[in-house]
Copies of this chain bind each other. A is one copy, B any other.
């Protein structure tokens, strides 16, 4: 639990595919709507999805690639919010903090200015572990 008595959710977002980004962002936006502090630490393919234009390009993994077009069409018909919409909604709550994994940035030659402006902090794994060890729910997507 956080110092302000709020419950705390900490998610490592390792994946960059649409299904798993949605999973993380639906959990996160539900959590902020429930007044929980939400911490998302983006690493590997998840970090790459935070590059400008990255969230818009996310598709399904190889196993489900054949369902991608159908899923995107259905989401359009449902007027389902995009991953970036969900991220902005969480951000607007004032309860979301977004971390970009610094070793991943070095590994993939991603610079701070390549990332969407919603990123709060560039940080190593220690920062995440510190937060996660005080969280009520810890997950890796």
Contacts and interface: CB of A to CB of B under 8 A. Distances in A.
Interface stretch (A12-20, A49-57, A91-99, A111-119): A12-20
Contact of A126 (B22, B30, B125, B136): B30
Given A62-B61, A78-B107, A129-B137, A20 B14 contact: yes
Main secondary structure of the interface of A (DSSP, over half): helix
A125 B63 contact: no
B139 A107 contact: no
Interface of A: 7, 9, 12, 14, 17, 19-20, 22-23, 26-27, 30-31, 33-34, 36, 43-45, 61-64, 71, 74-75, 78, 80, 103, 106-109, 124-126, 128-130, 132-133, 135-141
